[in-house]
């Protein structure tokens, strides 16, 4: 049976994501080598931590080229939190080049009066278009965030949902064809997070 491949590059929440996917009755394979990918039907890159160490760790696995090939081939792919950010070309958090599948930059969340930074906690998603995770008409989707940087794609049409932060909106979901990535943590977002993951798995 084809499995959901979970890229294991030493950056944080791998086991909570694994458990969330297994709770949805999917087999999960922790990917540490490019030779394991062929048995998968979809890939997920999770992550918590800083941009440069994440890229360094991925370079050590030799998986960056394989991730690029996978996404460009049209196969299902999901990035979570830091796993979204490393898909971009660069980040204000560090000096390393990102994977570069999404053109644009990861930027520092600006300091706004009466707003906490890092941006941590439950926030309501604001859909801008239908996506593999939620429909534009859906409301009351509260999910859990924990980040200090946000995605700024060159092509704003890739943003399918955002979240309010003071007087600005921050990117919450990026979607480009077979690629979907979320800044929030679905695996930490209770029943809502499970339903969003389940919806994505049904598209594979």
Which pair of tokens denotes residue 124?
């309501």
| DSSP string covering 189-201 | SHHHHHHHHHHHH
Q: Is 187 part of the annotated catalytic residue set?
A: yes
Q: Is residue 185 annotated as a catalytic residue, yes or no?
A: yes
Closest CA to 140 of 189, 201, 199, 79: 189
Residues 6+ apart with CB under 8 A from 199: 132, 133, 134
State the catalytic residue, choosing from 26, 40, 66, 81: 81
Catalytic residue among 26, 175, 182, 185: 185
Name the catalytic one among 66, 93, 175, 187: 187
What is the DSSP secondary structure assignment for residue 136, as one 8-state letter? T
Question: Is the distance from CB of 201 to CB of 24 less than 8 angstroms?
Answer: yes
182 labelled catalytic: no
Mapped onto helix, strand or coil, the DSSP state of residue 139 is coil
Which positions are annotated as active-site residues?
81, 185, 187
């Amino acid at each position: 049976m084809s499995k959901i491949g979970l890229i294991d590059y030493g950056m944080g929440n791998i086991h909570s994501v694994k458990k969330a996917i297994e709770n949805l009755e999917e087999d999960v394979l922790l990917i540490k080598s490019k030779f394991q990918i062929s048995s998968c039907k979809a890939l997920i890159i999770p992550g918590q931590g800083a941009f440069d160490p994440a890229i360094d760790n991925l370079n050590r696995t030799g998986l960056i080229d394989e991730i690029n090939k996978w996404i460009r081939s049209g196969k299902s792919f999901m990035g979570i939190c830091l796993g979204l950010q490393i898909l971009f070309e660069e980040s204000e958090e560090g000096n390393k080049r990102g994977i570069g599948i999404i053109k644009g930059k990861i930027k520092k969340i600006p300091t706004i009066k009466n707003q906490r930074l890092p941006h941590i906690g439950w926030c309501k998603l604001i859909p801008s278009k239908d996506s593999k995770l939620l429909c534009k008409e859906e409301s009351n989707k509260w999910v859990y965030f924990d980040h200090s940087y946000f995605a700024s794609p060159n092509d704003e049409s890739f943003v399918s949902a955002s979240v309010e932060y003071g007087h600005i909106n921050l990117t919450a979901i990026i979607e480009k064809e077979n690629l979907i990535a979320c800044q929030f943590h679905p695996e930490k977002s209770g029943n809502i997070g499970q339903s969003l993951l389940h919806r994505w798995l049904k598209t594979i």
